[in-house]
Amino acid sequence: MKLILLTLLLLTGVLLWVRVSHANDVPQSGLPAPGFDLPDQNGKPHSLNAYKGRWVVLYFYPRDDTPGCTEEACLFRDDLHKLTALGAQVIGVSVDDTASHADFARKYHLPFPLLADKDGRVAAQYGALRNLGLVKFAKRYTFLIDPQGKLAKSYLKVDTSRHSQEIIDDLARLKGK
């Protein structure tokens, strides 16, 4: 009986490790960014192709209305005029649904799209999906995509309290300003 239990635990651990390790395949800078076609908090579809010619700040976050996610979103909101002046569009993505995104955007007056990646397909393409079997959520990753649709920079360790300013600084440097 102990051997069966130990075997089941070991098998479960291996399966979880495989799921998590495959989710860590982050696309490399300089390559085309994986495309997406997802609805925002209002049900309006957004695709990466629609943003050709503009810089895109594509940020993945775990859950609507949680402390770190709220701080990050509100700082992007507060710095949106600086980001827009640099030619960038901010887009948030999580596995929450459109209704959750709508409540979050309304509560914090978020003026940018929050895309609902309910099945986690897009997050997985960016290596940003944490799949623990019954529970899926996006890792806090950000990707800066250039106007030609290529990945210019990836942020895999995000400090929510200064991330927006970090993006502004890097975007200004990349644009040569």
Q: Determine the pLDDT at residue 132.
A: 85
Report whether 92 contacts 32 (CB < 8 A).
no
Give the residue-averaged pLDDT of 6-29: 61
Rg (CA), the chain: 17
Can you give the three-state secondary structure of 99-162, one letter per residue? HHHHHHHHHHCCCCCEEECCCCHHHHHCCCEEECCCCEEECCCEEEECCCCEEEEEECCCCCCC
Q: How many CA atoms, within 13 angstroms, populate the side-chain half-sphere of residue 1?
A: 0
Give the residue-averaged pLDDT of 147-166: 96
In tens, the pLDDT along 40-52 reads 999 999 999 999 9
Q: Residue 98 above 90 pLDDT? A: yes
Active site residue 74: no
Give the residue-averaged pLDDT of 17-40: 79
Report whether 93 contacts 101 (CB < 8 A).
no
Give the residue-averaged pLDDT of 150-168: 96
Report whether 137 contacts 95 (CB < 8 A).
yes
Instruction: Say which residues have a Cβ less than 8 Å from residue 162's Cβ, sequence separation at least 6.
Output: none
Rounded distance between C-alpha atoms, residue 141 and residue 154, angstroms = 7
Rounded distance between C-alpha atoms, residue 64 and residue 79, angstroms = 19
Instruction: Say which residues have a Cβ less than 8 Å from residue 82's Cβ, sequence separation at least 6.
Output: 168
Length of the chain: 177
Query: Could you say which of 69, 83, 128, 171 is catalytic?
Result: 69
Cα 29 to chain centroid distance, Å, stands at 16
Q: Determine the pLDDT at residue 18.
A: 47
Q: Determine the pLDDT at residue 22.
A: 43
Between 53 and 6, whose confidence is greater? 53
Q: What CATH number matches the domain at 2-175, 3.30.1050.10, 3.40.50.10860, 3.30.2010.10, 3.40.30.10?
A: 3.40.30.10
Q: Determine the pLDDT at residue 134.
A: 83
In tens, the pLDDT along 72-87 reads 999 999 999 999 999 9
Task: Using the structure block, give the residue that is written with the tokens 């291996």.
Answer: 14
- Prediction pTM value: 0.86
